[in-house]
A = this chain, B = another copy of it.
Amino acid sequence: MVGYAFMGAAHSQGWRTVGRVFDLPRRPVLAAVCGRDAAAVRAAADRHGWAAAETDWRALIARDDIDLVDICTPGDSHAEIAVAALAAGKHVLCEKPLANTVAEAETMVRAADEARRRGQVAMVGFNYRRVPATALARRMVAEGRLGTLRHVRVTYLQDWLVDPAFPLTWRLRREHAGSGSLGDLGAHIVDLAQYLAGEPLAGVSALTETFVRERPLPSAPTSGLAAVSSAGTGTVTVDDAALFTGRFTSGALASFEATRYATGRKNALRIELNGERGSLAFDLERLNELWYHDGTEPADHAGFRRILVTEPGHPYLEAWWPPGHGLGYEHTFVHQARDLVLAVAEGRAPEPSFADGLQVQRVLAAVEESAEKNSVYTPIAV
């Protein structure tokens, strides 16, 4: 695993736990974690249960005892590491967004395609597909329970930038993060919306905004943060919020909002799908619940029902606790690890693929293009 911050901790929890909960043909071994700071990576290895620590990702991928490389770094290093790891014959799991640019993502897809011919697998980490409730939603859509789709509306609302005194971290600089709310939150909801709808977006019309353009530098300055003003502040070079509407290829309409300024909303990834035969709704802040309206029921008894997604027949749940005993955020990484291990063992290409990651990247690029061009409707490149 490369990287050991928030995502690294979450992925470690997934790798450590998956073989203890699910019946797998192969149980993952946590071979080595990699980071630039030797002491810190050594501590992270000890904390998270990795057998070894490396300070050079090239050394990591050169090791013979490693089959799979999990990339948890910021987006600007994804392409280089992933392409090298695939070239080295490793399976690869790469955190989202797949890359900071479409061009990088295209390179990665080519590398994954070549590796696929050698039997390797590559997967991008859109972990919110692995919430049991979203997986159940996908199953229900695939069963035809919504019928012709009419509307998808999605928000991903957080509030950690509301305070103008919050410092200028790497996530607020384009050269590191690629974009702001758009790449961080928007990538998740674009992927989830397309996954649940079962079809891609055809085009988008977008508005983006940076509400607070100057922020104080972090006390321990992130290397490479330029544009320092005399007042000890720096410029925010990414979007604070992105709103966009769009059309799916089937003609269904979509609306998206990603922001870090929704005071009081901590992790409000909310999605609702309305089809001719039914509707589904989900809120990540209540991740054990899926709301379902069966439009074919008699009006007298119809209503949105709260499915507590903790039944043995629900996705991933056969391995966990009795009904009503809910799961948490990190379980998505256990499930992601499970699906990836199964794909490796069975020689299948896992989803979401790098191609799926590229397609999301193209949607994000169209959003940025539309926002620059006065919101004009912008088709998604294919």
Contacts and interface: CB of A to CB of B under 8 A. Distances in A.
Interface of A: 6, 10, 12-13, 16-17, 20-21, 47-49, 136, 140, 146, 150-151, 153, 155, 157-160, 162, 205-207, 209, 211, 241, 243-247, 251, 253, 255, 257, 259, 261-268, 272, 274-279, 284-288, 291-295, 298-308, 310-314, 321-331, 370, 374-377
A288 B327 CA distance: 11
Contact of A292 (B13, B301, B331): B301
Given A160-B323, A207-B253, A264 B299 contact: no
3 pairs of A and B residues whose beta carbons are closest in the complex: A267-B324, A266-B324, A264-B293
A132 to B, nearest CB: 11
B374 A259 contact: no
28 contacts: A6-B321, A10-B321, A136-B300, A150-B241, A151-B241, A158-B324, A160-B323, A205-B245, A241-B253, A243-B255, A263-B277, A263-B279, A264-B278, A264-B303, A266-B308, A267-B323, A267-B324, A285-B288, A285-B326, A286-B286, A294-B301, A299-B323, A300-B311, A302-B305, A326-B329, A327-B328, A374-B377, A375-B375
Contacts of A262: 150-151, 272, 274, 279
Nearest to A295: B263
A106 B107 CA distance: 57
Contacts of A276: 162, 263
A261 B245 contact: no
A284 B294 CA distance: 22
A96 B115 CA distance: 53
B328 A326 contact: yes
A16 B20 contact: yes
A155 to B, nearest CB: 7
A267 B322 CA distance: 9
Contacts of A16: 16-17, 20
Contacts of A330: 321, 325
B211 A323 contact: no
**Among A276, A284, A325, which residue has the most Cβ atoms of chain B within 10 A?**
A325
**Among A277, A326, A329, which residue has the most Cβ atoms of chain B within 10 A?**
A326
Given A6-B322, A266-B310, 12 more contacts: A10-B321, A20-B47, A151-B261, A245-B245, A262-B274, A263-B276, A263-B279, A265-B279, A288-B328, A299-B311, A301-B307, A325-B329
A157 B278 CA distance: 14
Contact of A324 (B17, B268, B291, B331): B268
A331 B326 CA distance: 10
Contacts of A370: 375
B321 A329 contact: yes
Contact of A325 (B264, B267, B295, B377): B267
A217 to B, nearest CB: 21
A206 B255 CA distance: 11
A262 B286 CA distance: 22
Nearest to A315: B300
A126 to B, nearest CB: 16
A375 B245 contact: yes
A149 to B, nearest CB: 10
A308 B302 CA distance: 8
A16 B18 CA distance: 12
Contacts of A274: 157, 159, 259, 261-265
A159 B278 CA distance: 11
